[in-house]
Every structure is written in structure tokens, then in C-alpha cells.
A = this chain, B = another copy of it.
Amino acid sequence: MTIAEASRKYGLSADTLRYYERVGIIPPVPRTAGGIRDYDEASCGWIELMKCMRAAGVQIEALVKYVALYQRGDETLADRKALLVSQREQLAGRMAEMQASLERLDGKIWLYEQLIGGETAQQRAQEGQSQ
């Protein structure tokens, strides 16, 4: 699979795929005799994993560490697990924060629904909320 095909398949630009490989969050991709990238299943798996982790806000640096550990082999299993657990916790924390914000947004939207369709200055004052 060429870089253009992988790009289409995963919705990441060819630039981004080369960047991911260069920084090391995708291990070296096999090449054709001419030196052109030829993405195989393993490489595609890495792309998908990294797309997923990046979408969740996991930093490139953490992913670089994970891939480096992975490439060192089985002796790094415990370290890799610890890294994932740490990232999982950070992710859960961000999600909790976002949940609070979501609820706050919902509250404000509800308030706007009350205000629209017959709002008066008095009514707004009664609601006891501004912003």
C-alpha cells in the first residue's frame, strides 16, 4: 500500500504519515526496491492505533516512548503497561473535566431556552445567572 493509499484509508495526510514515522510513533515502514514506502498490515495497525491515541490527546512524546519500548521486545512489557495505565488515567481525567464542561454547557443552553420566547430583563434577573 502506497503512502497515498494509506493516507486515504486513515484520513491522515501523507505528510503526517511521514512525520509519524520520522518522529518514531510508527516503526520503519517497509520499502520497495526503489525506496518507496509500502505499508503492510503491521504498519497499518500502527497508523490506526496512533490515529486513535492522538485523537484522544495522547502526546507524541508518550507514543514515541511506547513504540521505542515495543521495539526493544518482551523485556519491556511491564514498562509498556505502566505507560498505558498512566495515559489511561490522564485520559480519564480529561474526560471527567470535559463531562463537567458539557454539563455546564447543557445548563446554559437550557437557560437560553427559557429566556428565548418571552424574555424580559426581570426574568433574566430572576434566573440569577449572567454570562
Residues of A with Cβ closer than 8 Å to B?
Answer: 42, 45-46, 49, 52-53, 55-58, 70, 74, 77-78, 80-81, 84-85, 87-88, 91-92, 94-95, 97-102, 104-106, 108-109, 112-113, 115-116, 119, 121, 124, 130-131
Q: List, in ascending order, chain B residues with CB within 8 A of A95's CB.
A: 95, 98-99, 102
Whether A98 and B55, one on each chain, are in contact in the complex, defined by CB atoms closer than 8 angstroms, is yes
A115 CB contact (under 8 Å) in B77, B87, B94: B77
What B residues does A91 contact at CB under 8 A?
98, 101-102, 105
Instruction: Report Cα–Cα, A84/B130, bound state, in Å.
Output: 14
Question: What are 30 A-B contacts defined by CB distance under 8 Å?
Answer: A45-B131, A49-B131, A53-B101, A55-B101, A56-B97, A56-B101, A57-B98, A70-B131, A74-B121, A74-B124, A77-B115, A77-B116, A77-B119, A78-B116, A80-B112, A81-B109, A81-B112, A84-B108, A84-B109, A85-B109, A87-B105, A88-B105, A88-B106, A88-B109, A91-B101, A91-B105, A94-B98, A95-B95, A95-B99, A95-B102
